[in-house]
Amino acid sequence: MTTTTLSLGGALNAGLRRALEHDRKVVIMGEDVGRLGGVFRVTDTLQKDFGDNRVIDTPLAESGIVGAAFGMALRGYRPVCEIQFDGFVYPAFDQIVSQVAKIHYRTQGRVTAPLTIRIPFGGGIGAVEHHSESPEAYFVHTAGLRVVTPSNPADAFHMIQQAVAADDPVVFFEPKRRYWDKAEFDVDAEPDLPLHRARVAREGTDATIVAYGSVVPTALSAASIAADEGHSLEVIDLRSLSPIDFDTVEASVRKTGRLVVAHEASTFLGLGAEIAARISERCFYQLDAPVLRVGGFDVPYPPSKLERHHLPDADRLLDAVDRSLAA
Amino acid sequence: MVDKIAYPVQLIQPDGRRVFRPDYTSLVRDIGPDQLRDLYEDLVAARRMDVEAVALQRQGELGLWAPLLGQEAAQVGSARALRPDDYAFISYREHAVAYCRGVDPGVMTRMWRGCAHSAWDPSSVNVTNPAIVVGSQGLHATGYAMGAHLDGAEIATIAYFGDGATSQGDLAEALGFSMSFNAPVVFFCQNNQFAISEPVHLQSPVPIAQRAAGYGMPALRVDGNDVLAVLAVTRQATQRAREGSGPTFIEAVTYRMGPHTTSDDPTRYRAAAETEIWKARDPIDRMRRLLEREGLLSDEFLARVQATADAVAARLRSGTVEAPDPAPLDLFDHVYSTDHPLIDEEREQYAAYLAGFAGIEEALS
Ligand SMILES: Cc1ncc(C[n+]2csc(CCOP(=O)(O)OP(=O)(O)O)c2C)c(N)n1
């Protein structure tokens, strides 16, 4: 047993290190991932230790990064691409949705694209335009991609390794405002969940909050505030956005009868819409209130002085819980 | 012009002596003592503005800033070549271009402070708001120039971008489009040697300007720390654009003397010795030496420069610290140009939600 305290960013670094050690076909590629160690330092020291054939600083071109990584995957490599910020994945969008996502289907399973595309996502760090977006719905809507996001260091450590080992392309969203959150965990333990399972992050009986990525800690603090007020909230960390582990969500809602889905992304046609629809189908007779959604507003990500209004906080979550409990 | 790529155009040597090049010197024949002094004043004001913004970031008044330190001559020289009805498409580092075009230093920091995405009305100064998505503005400038060409307007459009941006597909497509449509656009690359941590040779093993040659576009390199040379070559390129001769690519060879942004740590990827070499090529020192040699530096003039720089910095500072925070419901403004029911509903609901807190605060006070 090797218990270590790591930040979420540090855990990703440790996980990538393990992945590089484990399989020599794993390569990391992206802008500034080498000597700088990435703008968030997630790849810090990896180039020094594994060389610049394994940790590759690429030209400043996202379509190039993903398109070339795709080609390397066709040659038997397992590239891990870093997109520097969420708002810069769009130049690579065509490669991801038209090429990477479809190759297995187009070739009737003859060709796989075991690519991991890492994207720091979400707001809350006071950044300028294009640095705080939540583009997950675009990718979740695309068949052929798997999409995941950890919310804590231990998951980050295990999930990045599981993603790299997966034979399907995985879009790996990193909740950037949680990069510095720390936790102690055993780096030698086996992961306790497969990549695509959700986790009950806190047990409760009165209502369920489903969240993922950066909003999970927010949901947990909402649950502790609610506990002080006499309400018992269950919090589910989705972890995987495609596929979604509806069984875990359903089991919780069967118990609590109430569901609030929370995410940073704009609410309209966001993941909350799909979860609300599915759970309404599955739990129609168990629901005591309509499924509610708390998310970003349907506006472009605002200037940073306004982001605290845009991002769902514990108060907005509790407001929704109150409405659910009142129904 | 196509053959000059290997030899950056220079009109002032680092020690302040003039270089005589008939082809380019003639382009700045009208730049007499007063105009030289004005250029110097612009350079000093630009640096002072930038230093002030960095200080404001360190004091917590700005979230971020992308310093232009070292790139003053490339920006001032090219911007001063433009006419009022020309149009500039800039990225996040072109503060001196914005300044020369008349953007109020008091609003320049709005975006960096997080008050608004855009600080000024682009059409009031013919400068776009800064492009953050690297390379995107190359295509926008091309399209704007295509429009100007269709209109028969005798103007030039200029796109500013860095060396890293030339790796983007958007930029490659812009070069292709502008040649296909003979668009009156100037591609102005500030090769400051780095794209964050990545040295320019990772983007291109050959001089950046050679990228244009593959499209059949005239291209040249200029000493980007020589304000006069930059002025000359940009005048030439904008003239070509205005007279309908199509696009030109300029690579201004310069150096980013500071960090990429205020949250970057350049010691992780470059040696101090390299920065020292470029200090000796400082664009402001060079201009000062020229003025000195030509007997154009008087105490009175230096006092004027100082006063202008101080005023610009003061304006930038007061504009920054006094910038009003946006109101919460501003979130919902300007998403669409006409009413949209979803936005209206969200605005209303959020207003009611906030009003609930106001009630609590009132009750508690
Ligand atoms: C499409 C895109 N990818 C990545 C980034 C992140 N980023 C911001 S600036 C920068 C480097 C740009 O280098 P260069 O084009 O040389 O311009 P410079 O910053 O040196 O002026 C990067 C990678 C971005 N803004 N846009």
Please write the tens of the pLDDT for every residue from A168-207: 999 999 999 999 999 999 999 999 999 999 999 999 999 9
Can you tell me which residue has the tokens 């720091």? A120
At residue B1, the pLDDT reads 42
Of the residues A131, A231, A263, A310, which is catalytic?
Answer: A131
Per-residue HEC secondary structure of chain A comes to: CCEEEEEHHHHHHHHHHHHHHHCCCEEEEECCCCCCCCCCCCCCCHHHHHCCCCEEECCCCHHHHHHHHHHHHHCCCEEEEECCCHHHCHHHHHHHHHHHCCHHHHCCCCCCCCCEEEEEECCCCCCCCCCCCCCHHHHHCCCCCEEECCCCHHHHHHHHHHHHHCCCCEEEEEEHHHCCCEEEEECCCCCCCCCCCCEEEECCCCEEEEECCCHHHHHHHHHHHHHHCCCCEEEEECCEEECCCHHHHHHHHHHHCCEEEEEEEECCCCHHHHHHHHHHHHCCCCCCCCCEEEEECCCCCCCHHHHHHHCCCHHHHHHHHHHHHHC
Angstroms from B229 CA to nearest CA on chain A = 29
At residue B2, the pLDDT reads 39
Which tokens in the block code for residue A146? 């798997």
Q: Which residues on A lie below 8 Å from B328 (Cβ)?
A: 306, 309
Question: Ligand 1 pocket by C-beta < 6 Å: which residues?
Answer: A 31, 60, 62, 84, 88, 91; B 93, 132-134, 161-165, 192, 194-196, 256, 260
Q: Give, rounded to a whole angstrom, the gap between the first and last alpha carbons of chain B.
A: 74
Q: Which residues on B lie below 8 Å from A35 (Cβ)?
A: 197, 268-269
Residues of A at the B interface, defined by Cβ within 8 angstroms:
31-32, 34-37, 39, 57-61, 63-64, 87-88, 90-91, 126-131, 268, 297-300, 302-307, 309-310, 315-316, 319
Q: Which residues on B lie below 8 Å from A314 (Cβ)?
A: none
Task: Tell me how far the alpha carbon of residue B138 lies from the centroid of ligand 1, in angstroms.
Answer: 13
Please write the tens of the pLDDT for every residue from A208-262: 999 999 999 999 999 999 999 999 999 999 999 999 999 999 999 999 999 999 9
| ipTM of the prediction greater than 0.90, yes or no | yes
Q: Nearest CA to B231 among B245, B213, B250, B212? A: B250
Amino acid at B357: F
Q: Which residue of B has its CA nearest to A56?
A: B202
Pocket of ligand 1, candidates B133, B134, B171, B278: which has the most ligand atoms within 8 Å of its Cβ, to mutate?
B134
Say if the Cβ atoms of B132 and A130 lie within 8 Å.
Answer: yes
CA distance B241 to B126: 17
Query: Quick one: B297 exposed, middle or buried, by C-beta within 10 A (0-12, 13-18, 19+)?
Result: middle
- For the stretch B274-279, contacts whose Cβ atoms lie closer than 8 Å and that sit 24 or more positions apart, written own/partner, are B278/B70
Say if the Cβ atoms of A268 and B133 lie within 8 Å.
Answer: no
CA distance A292 to B180: 53
Please write the tens of the pLDDT for every residue from A4-25: 999 999 999 999 999 999 999 9
Of B64, B113, B134, the CB nearest to A60: B134
Task: Tell me how far the alpha carbon of residue A35 lies from the centroid of ligand 1, in angstroms.
Answer: 16
CA-to-CA separations, B360 to A221, A231, B355, in angstroms, rounded: 21, 21, 9
At residue B357, the pLDDT reads 87
The dihedral through the CA atoms of B143, B149, B152, B154 has a sign that is positive
Please write the tens of the pLDDT for every residue from B107-158: 999 999 999 999 999 999 999 999 999 999 999 999 999 999 999 999 999 9
CA distance A322 to A309: 19
Beta strands in B73-166 (DSSP E): 87-89, 157-162
Closest CA to ligand 1's atom 8: B134
Low-confidence ranges of chain B (pLDDT < 50): 1-3
The bridge status of strand A78-82 relative to strand A26-30 is: parallel
pLDDT over threshold 50, residue A110: yes
At residue B359, the pLDDT reads 72
B99 included as an active-site residue = no
Q: Which residue of A has its CA nearest to B136?
A: A91
Residues in chain B: 365
Residues 6 or more apart whose CB falls under 8 angstroms from that of A73 comprise A79, A112, A113, A114, A115
Q: Residue B218 gets which letter from DSSP?
A: -
Element (H, E) at B219: strand B219-223
B326 shares contact with chain A (CB less than 8 Å):
yes
Q: Which residues on B lie below 8 Å from A29 (Cβ)?
A: none
pTM of the model: 0.96
B116 shares contact with chain A (CB less than 8 Å):
yes
Judged by phi (left if over 0) then psi (alpha if -120 to 50, else beta), residue A32 lies in left
∠ CA A22-A28-A29, nearest 5°, is 165
Contact A116, A174 (CB under 8 A): no
∠ CA B196-B202-B206, nearest 5°, is 125
Amino acid at B189: C
Determine the atom of ligand 1 nearest the C-alpha atom of B163. Answer: 16
CA distance A185 to A200: 18
Please write the tens of the pLDDT for every residue from A253-304: 999 999 999 999 999 999 999 999 999 999 999 999 999 999 999 999 999 9
